[in-house]
Amino acid sequence: MDKTLPGPDGRPRCRWCASAPQFPHYHDTEWGFPVADDRRLFEKLCLEGFQSGLSWRTILAKRENFRAAFHGFDIDTVAAFAPADIQRLLTDAGIVRHRGKIEAAINNARRAQDLIAAEGSLAAYVWRHEPPPGEHGPPQSASTSPTSVKLSKDLLKRGWKFVGPTTIFAFMQAMGLINDHAEGCVTREEAAKARAAFQVPV
């Protein structure tokens, strides 16, 4: 099956763009483009955790609410959240009110602090796990990969939560460690150009 559909401008884009009105802009400007900013990487790991069992459409529609509730996903701020913050978040109708996921985000902020202290930055750690080209097969043909399994295991070993292999694979797709835009998608080439110009954090 063709994995592209014409977008609003008539040019082919990944078929999933047609699933929600928020998707085309997200697809064209974010998904698959490389990210080296620790805050954005942490935000995405948290949001992927909140997505577990839900759809990305639900999370993307609530993303600005999540950003407000979690103070822009500043790692040090979230790491300092207290029980009163958990109660505040559990009453916030603008986000996903799941105690386990809320507590995981706070825990993961603290684990991110540990990781940054040990590795220099979250970005440097994440990009050391960039998979070899084609590891997971043709675009959008897999939901996990050997690298996502390996990275998931290492994060779990470090005490992170809600970071299973599928969650990590989706994170890698979104943050540009994998260019999983469909063959023929107009954004695939743009993402590839961005990766070629990207300086991998060390």
Active site residues: 26, 48, 56
Taking the C-alpha atoms of residue 131 and residue 154, their distance in angstroms, rounded to an integer, is 15
Side chain identity at 44, as an amino acid letter? K
How far, in Å, CA of 96 to CA of 102, rounded? 8
CB 26 within 8 A of CB 33: no
- Do 112 and 122 touch, CB atoms closer than 8 A? yes
3-state DSSP: the chain helix, strand, coil percent, rounded to 5?
55, 5, 40
Residue with the two structure tokens 């990305």: 56
DSSP-H helix ranges across 33-164: 38-51, 56-61, 63-69, 75-79, 83-90, 99-119, 122-127, 146-157
